[in-house]
Structures are given as C-alpha cells and as structure tokens.
Amino acid sequence: MLLGCGILSGLCLQAAGRPTVEQWGVFELTLSGPTNGNPFLEVKLSARFTQGTNVLEASGFYDGEGVYRVRFMPPVVGEWTYETRSNVRKLNGTAGHFTVTKPGPENHGPVGVANTYHFAYADGQPYHELGTTCYVWEWQPAALQAQTLKTLAASPFNKIRFCVFPKRYQWNTNEPILYPYASRDQCATTTNWDWGQFNVKYFQHLDQCVAALQQLGIEADLILFHPYDNGHWGFDRMPASADDRYVRYVVARLAAYRNLWWSLANEWDFMKQKRESDFVRFGEIIAHEDPYPHLLSIHNGSLLFNDTLPWITHASIQNGFAVEEPGRAELYRDVYRKPVVYDEVKYEGDIESRWGHLAADELVFRFWNATVAGTYCGHGETYRSADQILWWSKGGVLKGQSPARLAFLKKVMDDAPAEGIEPVDKWQSAGMGGQPAKYYLIYFGKQTPTNWVFELPKPPVAAVKSAEGLRFTAETLDTWNMTVTPVPGEFTLEKKDNYTFADKDGRSIPLPGKPYQAIRLKVISGPPGSRSPGLP
Amino acid sequence: MLLGCGILSGLCLQAAGRPTVEQWGVFELTLSGPTNGNPFLEVKLSARFTQGTNVLEASGFYDGEGVYRVRFMPPVVGEWTYETRSNVRKLNGTAGHFTVTKPGPENHGPVGVANTYHFAYADGQPYHELGTTCYVWEWQPAALQAQTLKTLAASPFNKIRFCVFPKRYQWNTNEPILYPYASRDQCATTTNWDWGQFNVKYFQHLDQCVAALQQLGIEADLILFHPYDNGHWGFDRMPASADDRYVRYVVARLAAYRNLWWSLANEWDFMKQKRESDFVRFGEIIAHEDPYPHLLSIHNGSLLFNDTLPWITHASIQNGFAVEEPGRAELYRDVYRKPVVYDEVKYEGDIESRWGHLAADELVFRFWNATVAGTYCGHGETYRSADQILWWSKGGVLKGQSPARLAFLKKVMDDAPAEGIEPVDKWQSAGMGGQPAKYYLIYFGKQTPTNWVFELPKPPVAAVKSAEGLRFTAETLDTWNMTVTPVPGEFTLEKKDNYTFADKDGRSIPLPGKPYQAIRLKVISGPPGSRSPGLP
C-alpha cells in the first residue's frame, strides 16, 4: 500500500498532487508493510524506475514501525514510472509515476570523475575538491552539531569525511548520542548488539546530516568502517554477514543523496579483525547495489589499498609525506590513472602526536604542492582544547589559520581551466601545474627566489601547433598573505631550445624573496597588443 | 628418436654416459624429427619432467634441419625422468632419465623476489640488482660483442637489459648481423618476412649470448617487444598470431637459462600498433608457459603499466624524476608491494636529448637515492662517439665515471643485512634506509652538512623490544670518492621522545661539508665495551 511520496531536497518536503522531484533530487516512495518477524532480515524490497530507455533498480529499506522506503535519485528529467518488487505481497507490484523537473540553481548533480584525474558535477561544472574531516561530528550533542554545520557553512570546504559508526579514541571517549543497533540487553553501551536490528533513529539522523550537508553544497564522504572502536562497541568486528547487511542497508538508505561519496574505510589496514578481501567484498557489494554509482574510495593507514581495482573511482590516500613536495605528489596519478585525493596529510594543530601538530603554513604548503601536481588535498585540525572538542573528531569551530588560505586557494582553483590543473612537463620538473599553452601555476613553496626567468616547457603538439608567439599575462600570488598582484606588460614566447620556450625579450618576473609565492600565467587569446587573458 | 642429451652450463657440454646436469643448469633433450611442411607451425612438442612429487612441463622447439629440442632447468637435485609428448609419432613418448647434481660454486640458481621488495637467488643468496642497458649489443659485429662481454666482465653490473629484436634509432641505424625471420623475398632487409619461419641462427645466437652472460654471472633481462623499429622491419607490428607464436618460441628456447628475466617490452606505451591488452596477453602466455617461473616485468615510456597484475613480479620503471629524491623513489613500493627497479633513470652522457646527458655524479646520486629508498636503479651511458658506438645501444666500452662509483655502491649493498635495505620510518623522513635497530644507511645527497646529530627513529617493536641501550658503530662514506672512514667510539641509544632515540651523550658525527656523503651504522651485538658490529 502506497503511503505517500516524499521528495527530499536537502530537507524532506511533501509534494501535493502529482509527484514531482527535481533531477538529482530524492524521490522517496513510502510504503506500509509488515511489522511482525524481523523486517530487516526477512523483507526484500526494491523498485524499478523507468524513463524511456533509462532503467534503474533501487533497493528499499525498513525504517521502523511498519514503514518501508525506496529512495531514488533520478538522473534525467522527464516522466518516470516505477514498480516495486518484494517477497511480501503487500509491498510487491506497487506502481506509479512522477515527473522529474530541471534541477534548481544550487543542484549540479552528483560529483563524478572528469578528465581522468579530476572531478565534475553531473551537469559538467568542475568540482574542485577541498575537503575537511570531522570523524564523528554527527554523533555529538545537538548544539555542537549545529555549530559544526554553521562553521562549515562559512568555510571553503566542499567535502567532509565522517564515519557512520561512533568513534572511541583520544579526545573522543564520550559515548555517541545514538547507537546503530538495538541491544539485546536493553543497555545502551553494551556490546551485546543485535546485528539483525538496526536502530532506525540512528540512520534517520544520518540521513538528516547528509541532507543538511547537501543544503550547504558539501559532499558527504561517508566512512563505512574504521578501527577506532577497538572492540569497545564491536562495530569494527561484526560477523561478515552483519557487515554485508550493514553495507547494503546504508546503500539502500543513502545512495539517493547526490552529495554522497562512499569511503569503505578509514585506515583499512589498521582494522586487525578484517582482511583485505573483506574490503574488496564491500566494494563489490556497493558497485553492485549503488544504482548511480557514486564516487567510491578507501583510505589507508600505512598500507595502500589496491586502488587500481575497477570499482574504485579515485585514490583516497593518507600520506602527508607525499605532499611535502609536488614531485612526490604527482607520482600516484600515473599509477592509478584516477583522481588522487590526499585525504589525510597530517593536521594543523598542537597535539603531541606527530600527525597532529603541523603549523598552518605547512598545511597550506601541502595543499599547494598537491594542487600544482594535479592532485587534491584534505584539511584537518587538532588544536588542543580544554573542552576536548577538536575539529578533527567532533567538529565545532575552526581555530586555525589555514582555512582562510585554503579559501584563497579555492578561488585560484575555480579560476583555472575547466580541464583541471595538470603537472606540466610530467616527470621532468616539479612545481609547475596548468594546461600547456593556456594556463600555468608555478609554485615556489619554501624557496625564496627574488626572480623567475620566464621559461616554459615546450607544449605538446596536442595543446598547440606551435608555441612561438604565444602571449601571456602574469600575476604573482602570495599564497599565505592571499594577494594577487598583476605583473605589468605581457610575455611572448620564443623557442629557446628543443625543450624550452622563453620570453622573446628575455624578461623575468620579480618575486619578493619570501616563501609561499606563486606565479600565474594566462594566455592572451585576443589580437597582439590586447590584454584580455584567454580564460574567463 | 633420441639424438643425445646436451647439458648447457654457460656453454653447451656433452655429457658422457649417464646424463648428469647440475641443479639450475640446462638439461637439453635433442630429438630428430620431420623436416617436411613447416615444423614451426605444425609440430607440437613438450616434455614432462618428474622427480618425486616435482612435475614440470617444458615446451620444446624446432631448431632447424630436423633437430628438435626440449630444454629444462631442474629446480632440485636427484634422479629425474622425462617423457615427451608430440603430435608427431617420432617425437612422442621418448622417455629417459638423468641425474641432477649439486650446483657448482658460481651457480646460485635463478633470481626471484625475496622479502617483498628485494631479490635473492634460488639458493637464498641475496641478489642486489645493479643493472645496465645495451639494447642490441648482441646484433652488432662479433668483435664488438666480444668487447661488450669483456667490458661487462670488468664492470659491477649483474644485470643487462637488451632486446630480442633489432633496433633502429638515432646512433643505431646499422642493420643487425642476423634477422629473426626468413624473408619471402630472399632479401635480408625486406619487410616481407615469413612470420611462420623463424631464423634459427638468430635464436641460436641469442641462446649463446644469454649463456655467455650467465658465465659472467650476469642476469639477462630480455626485452621481447620495443618500438624502435617503427615499421622499418615491422617486428613492432606483427599480426597477433605471430606475436604469440614468437613469445612461445622464445619461452621454449630460453626459459631453461637460470639467468633469464622476461621484460615484455621497452616503452610499451610507445608501441602505437599495440594495445595495453596485447601486453596483458603476452604476460599471461609467459605466466602459463614458463615452467619455473622467471622474473617478469614490463618497462614504460610515459604511461605506467598496471604492475599490480599478479604475474608481474616486479615494477620495471622508467622515471628518472622519481629517483631525484629518495622520498619520491619509495612511493611506488607501497603501491606495488613488489620490488621496484628504476630500470631507466636517464643516462650518463653528453648527447643533446635531455634523457642522455646526465653528469656522472647525478647518475650515481640517483642510484643512492633509490638504494636508501629500498628500491633498485639502472645504469646507462650515452657518450657521443665518432664511431657511433654508444654503450646504451651497442655496448662496447664504458667511458663514464659512474661505473666505478656503482661498484662502490655494490659493495655497500652486499655488506647490508640480507633482508635488504628498507626505508626506515616510512613516509616520515627520506634518505634513511636500513633495517631498524640493526643497520642504517643515511644518505645526504646534494646537501653539504658538516655534522649529523645521532638520532634514529624509534624502531618498531617487531624489530626490537626496546631500543634503549642499543650500541652502534659508525662510518662515514664518501660515495663519490669511494672512501669509508670509521668514526671513533660507539654510540648508545637513549629515548629522546615518543618517536626518537638519540645518542645518550648527545654526540654527533662530523661530516666534511661536501655533497654525496653517507653514514653507515651497524649495531654492536657483543657485550658492552666490545666493538664487534652485529653484521658480518
């Protein structure tokens, strides 16, 4: 029996009359079904959604109190029909139709891989990943959650990594506000969980948090497993059947949210009760169950996962060492032929652990190294606090100096060519990113030059027939003080040798002799003498 | 009909009476068979070799003039039997036995992977890869070949990369002394080859060259395909059926040589007539056909192969950029979880191409970077020469200054722990290799310190219960001037902080303020006050 159609777009809204939902919004089918037995284990439910030749199958889920839901993210506009399938007669064969309208102005669809190493929304708009991490912000008291969302809204971050399961670790020994499973002992903190009984309130709250992030334009990089439990609750060591059921349940609930990314695990190799093959199985389940599919990755401790597996969409890497130098950062690109996101590169903060006391400038430096290497970087913050609230784990407020600089970097990324920033002259020189013959971003890091001789590697023929005579504007960027200073005049390329073009007048660009400087060059597409850069 | 048993050990020797061959030598079964039709296409021949529970199947090959051979490298001593199988009655069911004796003093068996990232001979002796490249030395005039072997004999190199097929490239436009196929036109330089007719003289010569290298204790890293033909002969663009037949033929001929390594291609991605899947197919053929199996890799141009594939034993990488810094060099290890051999890192020389004009010290620097990063590096030399003989392509004599320094490095490698040199404190600091709590090799590269404070990362518990009180001897190594200077006294570890141990007296080691210095530390295993290092 059909109870009603809910349309979620950030928050859940009821539509009156003929159901409509915008493209990449959430169409939610709500059905009434059995409450006897264990619906989580016994009831199978899915729906087939059809529009023309588009056919997608989405799994449904039990949401407690006799309520069953199937959520669907329509990928194209038009008239859609659906029909349910279930092993329960009451839920089987329910059919209907709905209209999918154009997306609203803030809705660009899910993020996917673009140009091999980069990301774009489904509508084609480039997505420049700039993520942060608050592992269990959503299981903190309501006021703290609200504060986290407020902080995020004012931040430059467009992705947040967080865990489904609660976390127990240093600075994070409080119990979560809810638990994901019903207890056999009626005792909230027991480890005697009933793996067959999801606590729907827990997952409803998770839904709301993902939706709240969507409202802010932030991608939810949801971590399915992590080791920071260590048997305290036992969610890190459930039986394999419970693991698989949990993965399917989360996919059924959340796959319809366009801002959802799957992260199979945080520090997968630190989960000593799991084997590598377990994570392969989880990945295969998601690859099979997720109808869209969303981005999917897995985050490492000290052992990299095999990110060449076909269902892994991008490499999510913890390795601060790799972004200490742009020449290191670019190496993983060629191995994986996928976007590389350095999701954990140590944290801005002042705790004792060596992963948690980077100076702000060091963290910003790592982001820039990653950027000019054609990769992406992740933020985190671990400032010691009397209230035990560290952003990295619980959210709250940002105290560091890096976010403002990362907002500046974000502007630079957004101003770059849509194809993305690539290493220029791969495996030959580090620190120069861009698109050959079009755009260059030269980062000097901790070097303190007073001058940069205008020389560029010969662009490949695929980029330009000949670089001879190409003209560029130049700007100097102080990446720490967040200034952009145009360099007077323009620069014209002339062949220097088989590998290099230089300014025809042998000009250089003066630099202030301070660290963290960059130069940005943009080709001038107008006639000689004009100053209009070739990029918007 | 059995013609005789030949035993190759470097050179082919006939055994009198009951055949004997040493372990990892070549047992060669020679049979007389049909000459009509096309034996290369029509005759199937293999033999099954049995000793106790050891059963290996080796393919045979046609060697011209009615002679068929099956070669076998016995992996264990004892009494072996064999029986042939063929679609030709005369060749089918030939049976016999032979005795496999202990290997001679210079015979350590084939090289395989050891300790994940390193190599060892089959008898357990560590193999410290120090390779060079002479792409087509064996197709040059006889005097030049002899000179190359003489040069190799006096060199530190224990591996050489070279191609089965001839090469046509700058400084290498001469025709080879032989061609691998019969021509349909009776014209040696034609491209109208008969892909069904191998020129057995060509492959007999190749056999001899591999055997000659074995006599010198040098591994033959044999490159099956390469792009430096560009259609001149067309060996880079044979039909797929010819490619596969060729791969099987080479495996049948050469797999019994213990010093054989397979390299599927040089710069595989520059072979524009082939697709990636072709090389996967070749790899799978070898993995199936090679009874032992030998080491197997593939070398890249600008696109890395997927070296995570299970039949690839080690990563053979062209990337000079990755060994400009030890922090870069170590990154591929974690991706592949296999030995990483930087087989091409640009060349010592003075030609115009940027890949061919490294200074000797720069090449030696790259080797050291690779070494302390737990990887291996490859040598090559491209000094311009009036006789057009550049070592890199044709062999001849070595003119550079790096080989002597690489011989010095080889001694250092041979003196290191048998487990191999690993990055110490992975992803935290670069330039320190070794085995925690046991042996450290600290390389300063182009830095010119005058002092090194004796501080080591806390060894993992797996290496030592506590590092407190561990005592070390120290030496300073000038890697360019090839000197080893003992540092007086000994150093005793004391905990400094959660991550570091330092000398209890806060001592430092003085350094000469010159580039290319290193420090070697060895644990003292004797009682306090003794000076005997813990390593042989």
CA distance between the termini of chain B: 54
Report the DSSP beta bridge partners of residue A318. Answer: A344
**ω before B293 within 30° of 0 (cis)?**
yes
Q: Residue for token digits 């107008």?
A: A526
- Rounded alpha-carbon distances, angstroms, from residue A85 to A45, A122, A253, A395: 6, 29, 17, 41
- Rounded alpha-carbon distances, angstroms, from residue B478 to A361, B411, B433, B441, B488: 36, 13, 16, 12, 17
- Name A319's Cβ contacts closer than 8 Å, sequence gap at least 6: A300, A342, A344, A345, B331, B427
Q: Residue for token digits 């990295």?
A: A392
State if pTM tops 0.90. yes
Q: Which amino acid is at A179?
A: Y
B364-395 pLDDT, tens digit each: 999 999 999 999 999 999 999 999 999 999 99
Question: Is residue B321 less than 8 Å (CB to CB) from chain A?
Answer: yes
- Rounded alpha-carbon distances, angstroms, from residue A174 to A204, B9, B165, B427: 21, 71, 68, 31
Residues 277-316 of A with CB under 8 A from B: 302-304, 306, 308
State the pLDDT confidence band at B432, using cuts at 50, 70 and 90. very high
Sequence length of chain B is: 536
CB contact under 8 A, A428 and B303: no
The order of strands in the sheet holding B2-9 is B11-14, B2-9, B26-32, B67-72, B54-62, B45-51, B78-86, B95-101, B20-22
Q: Residue for token digits 């320190």?
A: B432
- B280: tokens are 């996967």
CB contact under 8 A, A332 and B335: yes
State the pLDDT confidence band at A100, using cuts at 50, 70 and 90. very high
CB contact under 8 A, B332 and A327: no
Alpha helical stretches, state H, B3-84: 39-42
Is B150's pLDDT higher than 90?
Answer: yes
Q: Which amino acid is at B465?
A: K
* Residue-wise burial string across A55-75, b where 16 or more C-beta atoms lie within 10 A, e elsewhere: ebebbbbbbbeebbbbbbbbb
CB contact under 8 A, B325 and A320: no
B487-524 pLDDT, tens digit each: 999 999 999 999 999 999 999 999 999 999 999 999 99
The whole-chain average pLDDT of chain A stands at: 94
What is the β-pairing status of strands B422-423 and B500-503?
unpaired
- Name B403's Cβ contacts closer than 8 Å, sequence gap at least 6: B155, B156, B157, B379
B18-38 pLDDT, tens digit each: 799 999 999 999 999 999 999
- d(CA A457, CA A517) in angstroms, rounded, equals 20
Is A239's pLDDT higher than 60?
Answer: yes
CB contact under 8 A, A321 and B352: no
Is B448's pLDDT higher than 60?
Answer: yes
- d(CA B312, CA B300) in angstroms, rounded, equals 13
A452-493 pLDDT, tens digit each: 999 999 999 999 999 999 999 999 999 999 999 999 999 999
Question: Is residue A248 less than 8 Å (CB to CB) from chain B?
Answer: no
- d(CA B236, CA B255) in angstroms, rounded, equals 22
A114-127 pLDDT, tens digit each: 999 999 999 999 99
Comparing alpha-carbon positions, the chain B residue that sits nearest to A317 is B335
- d(CA B316, CA B262) in angstroms, rounded, equals 11
Question: Is residue B322 less than 8 Å (CB to CB) from chain A?
Answer: yes
- A7: tokens are 């349309």
- d(CA B456, CA B435) in angstroms, rounded, equals 12
- Determine the 3-state secondary structure of A237 from DSSP: coil
B66-101 pLDDT, tens digit each: 999 999 999 999 999 999 999 999 999 999 999 999
- d(CA B227, CA B242) in angstroms, rounded, equals 16
What integer pLDDT is reported at residue B157 of this predicted model? 98
Q: Please tell me the number of Cα atoms within 13 Å of A47 on its side-chain side.
A: 29
Mean pLDDT across B313-320: 98
Q: What is the dihedral of CA B371, B373, B376, B381, to 10 degrees?
A: -70
State the pLDDT confidence band at B102, using cuts at 50, 70 and 90. very high
- d(CA A424, CA A236) in angstroms, rounded, equals 43
Q: Which amino acid is at A428?
A: Q
- A444: tokens are 């000097």
- Name A169's Cβ contacts closer than 8 Å, sequence gap at least 6: A228, A393
- d(CA A314, CA A220) in angstroms, rounded, equals 15
Query: Alpha carbon A18 to chain centroid distance?
Result: 34
Alpha helical stretches, state H, B66-193: 142-153
Comparing alpha-carbon positions, the chain B residue that sits nearest to A353 is B498
